[in-house]
Amino acid sequence: MIARMWEVRALGSGFDELLSWVCDEALPTIEVLPAHVSSEVYSSTDHRIVVISTWRHDPVELPAPPDRLVARSPHVWDFTPVDR
C-alpha cells in the first residue's frame, strides 16, 4: 500500500474554485483507476488543499491545477506503512 499526499496553496480568492476543481475534475480522473483504493480531501484556513490518496501500487499523479488558481506548484510525497 502507498499513500500519496498532494498539497497545493490557492491564490487568495481562488480557493473555492480550486477546491471545486480538485473534487469535481481532478479526483474523478484517478478514482476510476484499478490501483486506486481511496482519496480524502482536507482544507486549511491558510488556503491549502491536501489530498491523501491510497494505492495498491504505482500511484498516479493528479492533473496539474489551473495556474490562475494556485500560488505555487503542488507538492507531492509518497509514504508506505511502517511495521511496528
Helices and strands (DSSP H and E) totals, the chain: 2, 4
For the stretch 13-37, pLDDT in tens is: 899 999 999 999 999 999 999 999 9
Q: Closest by alpha carbon to 27, among 19, 3, 74, 78?
A: 19
In order, the DSSP letters of 57-72 are: SS--PPPPPPGGGBSS
For the stretch 29-61, pLDDT in tens is: 999 999 999 999 999 999 999 999 999 999 999
Name residue 41's amino acid: V
> Which set of grid coordinates corresponds to residue 26?
481532478
> Which set of grid coordinates corresponds to residue 28?
474523478
Instruction: Give residue 80's Cα distance to chain centre.
Output: 17
